[in-house]
Structure 1
């Protein structure tokens, strides 16, 4: 009974927030002091739980961003499908520890089924192992850790036992337009954050002939980091060709498919991901295009032994389960049961629904790009092959920056910036299940108003 009043209050405010997502201001805007409601001295005395919830809502709401809503186009951020929001609330109430099967047979079973469903949806090798992580950063880390184990084991070195001091040098190569999570993961793994780079073409795709030349500079262990979906242009590395180069060289191939890998779920877009089934490891987010609440991601490897060797640890007090133990496939052991929401999302949408959601996002991105191409002083910089649109405004860097700020200040939408070909650009990403043509048209109006205002 102690929970009722607090949960009732939280439920009421949660529904009000979700009901208002379509129309509320997307970003708090300038002048909002997000700290004001939270600040204060350390409380000396406790308060009633329901009172605390009300105080939390009052403190947080002025600084909340409607990133789960239909007109948030910054970065690559999905929303929360109805079943996944509910599943996440239940996961918090159930408070299951998802690391060990013995600690929650239900959480382990949900991960086992949801991971296998996702593997099939995404065209991953049917015998690939998988793990649930916080995001693509840790999924990339996990896949590359498996790769580190595998290539050094082939060279006769046990990196888990002996570390990297004295180990054979591992030659790591990434595309020139790889995402920042790749060098970060490499840094965590002791490789340093500056891998060799293979050239990229004008859309950010790795050039296989350049990769072959870079790999030829060394012998011995090698890891290659490719990309399924460039974060600025949406372009895909030619993974099948890259896999052939890796096979010739004996290199481990890791593919960062944080959002782009979900194109494999669409019969219309699947050709973009050709070759991902040949990758030794892959990473993707679920809190992007699958639209489950933050945080949620998946890592897959075609070498389950290397995967488990890189992640598994032993302790006398740990009771290993009779089936799949989640802690053997990811860095975290004490962690929330994020598999419930992934299971719910795939159950709510089904194979056809996932494909339709991905295709609809891409259609909306093209609608946005096509409308902007007709506007004087606006340049669409990329081939819109997926859900990303890259735009520059006017004839100066300041013009583009001012347009982006004008859009954000309007509260109608939120967009993020990037640097492409050495100049600032606006990056527009569609990945929310709620977004409609009306949202795109409403955002277009805000974009054109800002652009024309700056031009004038």
Structure 2
């Protein structure tokens, strides 16, 4: 089957039309999917046909068949997990990234995407108040951003302890003691497991999940050897931020490397009214975030930031004869991430920042937090609804009398489909968790969210 210029034109036109139709449906459609994966599997599966289908027909079939199984995650009424939407410039630039088809690992081979990502990285550092000399790598998501920062930490800590990790591996190496808050995100533990560093020591936290610096001090002082401390910008449930100034001072007193998991919270530094949450965070040694969550770019766009470029490049980079490396500039992109081959993930970040500007980013981040506060206030006014957390950022945790009622209300909210909120368990209680992460969420969506919970609770009580 021939694939020429006409094939591209027809397929891309079909994709654009279906994409527009999908986006236009978001304000009105139920949030949840109407079919399950087991129901959709035979539609897409079965024996591979002997003959192919024209590209534009493939796109038409794909869009029509997939539609019942799509969740309206880009909707302003989606409050599940911590999932952002996508800004127009970011979405359109991501289409260009696919069309350009650049392998963004080498500065010499793909100078345009390298320059765009370097600019995006500097803008991110400026917005977040982080050192201008830090290295920025664009990875798949927050999990790999944390992994990358902690990989740099592992290389530096073992080197400082006299151990050559590159030559001798981990067997027989000094043990790196890892310390985390009791309410850190589990992907931090996952990154430590990927790195062969084992289970971390849990440090006590307060009622909102903020690590206690005195407890950290005691935990590190109880032993000897290299230490890695992982702090948190934005608790998954409460949205709380660790006390960075005090905790980082404690960690550095003991010679520890400090990594900050800021999957969605690191962006608070960009909004003047939220910057107090990030006070002292810039003194850490590495940071991880996900541009999809709060900046609202497409998926596959985590950001790893490391104060010590030599540690990052030693941990992630390699040198081989067939790669033509650029002798000028700030190093090749592949030296800052776990992959050699990858798409130009930083381009949508650049496009989002270019379209918003500093003031626009501040308004977007501040708007998410303001919407969460408004939702919390609306929920608190409903009879039988408890707001369990101090709402200072983008997360709201709700409970309804007892666990059975909370689970029933959660199920009813999802069934009715006006909004999507995910259930969880926090501080020994089942909860309904509201995460405000989408730039589309406005006063109308806030009112819809409050009404959806009121309606669900009334239905459960009347059952």
TM-score of Structure 1 vs Structure 2, range by shorter chain: over 0.9
Which residue in 1 is equivalent to 2:385? 378
Q: Is residue 29–residue 409 contact of structure 1 (8 Å, CA) maintained in 2?
A: no
* Correspondence list, 1:90-239, <5 A: 90-192=96-198, 194-239=199-244
Q: Does 1:260 align with 2:265?
A: yes
Q: Is residue 30–residue 409 contact of structure 1 (8 Å, CA) maintained in 2?
A: no
Q: Does 1:21 align with 2:35?
A: no
Residue 160 of structure 1: how far off its partner (Å): 2.3
Q: Does 1:359 align with 2:366?
A: yes
Query: In structure 1, which of residues 317, 329, 333 is the aligned counterpart of residue 336 of structure 2?
Result: 329
Which residue in 2 is equivalent to 1:5? 10
Q: Is residue 37–residue 58 contact of structure 1 (8 Å, CA) maintained in 2?
A: no
Q: Does 1:280 align with 2:285?
A: yes
Residue 68 of structure 1: how far off its partner (Å): 1.0
Alpha-carbon separation, structure 1, partners of 2:13 and 2:359? 35
Alpha-carbon separation, structure 1, partners of 2:445 and 2:231? 33
Residue 31 of structure 1: how far off its partner (Å): 6.2
Comparing 40-49 and 288-297, the one that deviates more: 40-49
Distance 1:104 1:69, change over 3 A: same
- The SS at the match of 1:419 is strand
Comparing 31-40 and 238-247, the one that deviates more: 31-40
Comparing 133-142 and 33-42, the one that deviates more: 33-42
Alpha-carbon separation, structure 1, partners of 2:316 and 2:61? 41
Alpha-carbon separation, structure 2, partners of 1:245 and 1:334? 39
Which residue in 2 is equivalent to 1:401? 407
Alpha-carbon separation, structure 1, partners of 2:301 and 2:167? 30
Which residue in 2 is equivalent to 1:423? 429
Alpha-carbon separation, structure 2, partners of 1:373 and 1:436? 19
* Correspondence list, 1:270-349, <5 A: 270-321=275-326, 322-323=328-329, 324-349=331-356
Q: Is residue 259–residue 288 contact of structure 1 (8 Å, CA) maintained in 2?
A: yes
Alpha-carbon separation, structure 2, partners of 1:43 and 1:270? 56
Query: In structure 1, which of residues 409, 420, 434 is the aligned counterpart of residue 440 of structure 2?
Result: 434
Residue 332 of structure 1: how far off its partner (Å): 1.1
Q: Is residue 29–residue 411 contact of structure 1 (8 Å, CA) maintained in 2?
A: no
Query: In structure 1, which of residues 387, 399, 406 is the aligned counterpart of residue 394 of structure 2?
Result: 387
Alpha-carbon separation, structure 2, partners of 1:295 and 1:329? 16
Distance 1:448 1:29, change over 3 A: farther
Alpha-carbon separation, structure 2, partners of 1:362 and 1:353? 14
Alpha-carbon separation, structure 2, partners of 1:376 and 1:111? 50
Q: Is residue 35–residue 68 contact of structure 2 (8 Å, CA) maintained in 1?
A: no
Alpha-carbon separation, structure 2, partners of 1:96 and 1:368? 42
Q: Is residue 34–residue 68 contact of structure 2 (8 Å, CA) maintained in 1?
A: no
* Correspondence list, 1:47-126, <5 A: 47-126=53-132
- TM-score normalised by structure 2 residue count: 0.96
- The SS at the match of 2:153 is helix
Residue 389 of structure 1: how far off its partner (Å): 0.2
Residue 418 of structure 1: how far off its partner (Å): 1.4
Alpha-carbon separation, structure 1, partners of 2:324 and 2:225? 38
The unaligned stretches of length 5 or more in structure 2 are none
Q: Deviations over 1:367-418 (max 9, x none)?
A: 1111111222111000001010011112x21211111111111111111111
The unaligned stretches of length 5 or more in structure 1 are none
Q: Is residue 25–residue 66 contact of structure 1 (8 Å, CA) maintained in 2?
A: yes
- TM-score normalised by structure 1 residue count: 0.98
Q: Is residue 221–residue 251 contact of structure 1 (8 Å, CA) maintained in 2?
A: yes
Alpha-carbon separation, structure 1, partners of 2:33 and 2:421? 14
Q: Does 1:244 align with 2:246?
A: no
Alpha-carbon separation, structure 2, partners of 1:67 and 1:316? 45
